[in-house]
A = this chain, B = another copy of it.
Amino acid sequence: MSADIDVKAELKARAAEVEAYLAGCLRGRDIPERLLASMEYSLQAGGKRLRPALVLSFARLFGETVERVMPFAAALELIHTYSLIHDDLPAMDDDDLRRGKPSNHKQFDEATAILAGDGLLTDAFGLMFSCPQDMSAQRVLSAAQTVALAAGSSGMVGGQALDMEYTARPGVRLDELRSMHAMKTGALITASCVAGAHLAGALAPELDRARRYGENLGAAFQIADDILDVVGDTKTLGKPVGSDERQGKTTYPSLLGLDKSRELARERAKSAVEALAGLEHIEAVFLRALARYIVERVN
């Protein structure tokens, strides 16, 4: 059955739904013109919209509707977008390009980029709380708490701090690399899955499935990303190939080689698939296919 799903087309369709919502979600409020333009510039720069897709998929899997959780799902993309804007800043990774276009501070200016990031992060929480009134406040609160912890200083922000520390330091070990990535990218991906499940009122065993799926998907995703930076092409990546090596970053391929990295990515994808074993809902089929697809790209 799972072989029948065209994951790429399905992801694209879901991204389109999310983007339709994102296009309007900052309108009708008193946001200063240039700040709004800067926020929307990055928010509408494309991408897979993976995090919202995971929120929506896990919420449906456990009984909620796409429409009702869309504001919350969109919030995850605001958080992801803010993190990209701040990561690109001159004081951080100093990247001039993002998805083939000038990065936010290049298109606008540094102050505007910092504020656009701050605005997107804060507004994300505003969006999370704007789910329908009849949704259980406790569910929304649990989901938002999950996201806040994953995005904060012991999650995504902490991971970026470690990434900068490690980039400047030789001899980074595999366990350090793994836990840095678990914080920097894994935590928010996992939180997207768990938050979606919370919104649908999932109980402990289901929340645990969501967590295990997310952690393994996030790891597979990161390893695949490292591999693509070596073997991909500039057009697909939207950034120059080999940028990790030029920046002296420790990666899975630099520590383990390409073959071993591919094997590890496959293992993590397999664990993600297994976390949802036995579930026959169409969303479980999609999520399992998604995990396989992520590592197929690098084989």
- The verdict on A271 contacting chain B, using a C-beta distance below 8 Å, is no
Given A26-B153, A141-B129, A152-B126: A115 touches B161 (CB 8 Å cut-off) = yes
B152 touches A119 (CB 8 A): yes
Partner of A91, one of B31, B32, B110, B120: B110
A148 touches B161 (CB 8 A): no
Most B-side CB within 10 Å, residue of A30, A92, A137, A161? A161
Q: Interface size for chain A: under 10, 10 to 19, 20 to 34, or 35 or more residues?
A: 35 or more
Which residues from 107 to 136 on chain A have a C-beta closer than 8 Å to any C-beta of chain B? Answer: 109-112, 114-115, 117-123, 125-126, 129-130, 136
B141 touches A122 (CB 8 A): no
- The verdict on A264 contacting chain B, using a C-beta distance below 8 Å, is no
Given A26-B153, A89-B114, A153-B26: A145 touches B129 (CB 8 Å cut-off) = yes
Partner of A157, one of B91, B115, B144: B115
Partner of A32, one of B123, B137, B161: B161
B92 touches A111 (CB 8 A): yes
- The verdict on A2 contacting chain B, using a C-beta distance below 8 Å, is no
Q: Contact flags (1/0) for A20-39 with B, using CB distance below 8 Å?
A: 00000010011110111001
B126 touches A29 (CB 8 A): no
Number of copies: 2
- The verdict on A45 contacting chain B, using a C-beta distance below 8 Å, is no
A145 touches B161 (CB 8 A): no
B118 touches A31 (CB 8 A): no
- The verdict on A294 contacting chain B, using a C-beta distance below 8 Å, is no
Q: Which residues of B contact A140 (CB under 8 A)?
A: 137, 141
A126 touches B145 (CB 8 A): yes
Q: Which residues of B contact A122 (CB under 8 A)?
A: 121, 148, 151-153, 156-157
A55 to B6, CA, bound (A): 51
Partner of A86, one of B114, B160, B165, B183: B114
Q: Which residues of B contact A109 (CB under 8 A)?
A: 91
Q: Which residues of B contact A34 (CB under 8 A)?
A: 161, 165
Q: Give the residue name and chain of the B residue nearest to A130 (CB).
A: B145
Given A126-B148, A145-B129, A145-B130: A153 touches B89 (CB 8 Å cut-off) = no
A118 to B136, CA, bound (A): 29
B165 touches A144 (CB 8 A): no
Q: Contact flags (1/0) for A153-178 with B, using CB distance below 8 Å?
A: 11011101110110000000000000
Partner of A115, one of B29, B82, B130, B160: B160
Most B-side CB within 10 Å, residue of A115, A164, A183? A115
A123 touches B111 (CB 8 A): no
A154 touches B115 (CB 8 A): no
A interface, CB within 8 angstroms of B: 26, 29-32, 34-36, 39, 82, 86, 89, 91-92, 109-112, 114-115, 117-123, 125-126, 129-130, 136-138, 140-141, 144-145, 148-149, 151-154, 156-158, 160-162, 164-165, 183
